[in-house]
Amino acid sequence: MRIIAATMIAMLAGTIVAAAGEVPIELKPGAGLETVEGNCAACHSLDYIQMNSPFLDAAGWNGEVTKMIKAYGAPIGDADAKVVADYLAQHYGP
């Protein structure tokens, strides 16, 4: 009985959060989008891309991708890192 009650409470809580009006982020279409979504969204919200876009140029995005890999341990290979940085620089910059 406790398991059923806990499950129902969890389901209700999820419904309330979903109804709070949070809109999923849709990034701009382009080459590399799937690589960005697959690698970046694995660890954090894609909101960070849009929030940082006014401040980061190509060098800045390259630095962010490098930081995610080296400082935070993001499991992104060199080829994917280049695709991610190129996509971000092309679609989200000043």
CATH of the domain at 85: 1.10.760.10
Mean pLDDT for the stretch of residues 52-71: 94
- 57 inside domain: yes
- At 9-23, the pLDDT tens digits run 655 555 454 555 667
d(CA 18, CA 83): 32
- 82 inside domain: yes
Map tokens 């999820």 to a residue: 14
13 vs 66 pLDDT, higher one: 66
Checking if the pLDDT of 69 tops 60, the result is yes
For residue 53, give both structure tokens. Answer: 């876009």
Banded pLDDT at 29 (limits 50, 70, 90)? very high
For residue 4, give both structure tokens. Answer: 């059923």
Note the pLDDT of residue 61: 96
31 vs 93 pLDDT, higher one: 31
Record the pTM: 0.74
Q: Where are the alpha helices (DSSP H) in 28-73?
A: 33-40, 47-52, 58-70
- 2 inside domain: no
Q: Among 66, 94, 91, which Cα is nearest to 80's?
A: 66
d(CA 47, CA 73): 20
- 72 inside domain: yes
Count: domains in the chain: 1
- 21 inside domain: no
**Owning domain of residue 58:** 26-91
- 19 inside domain: no
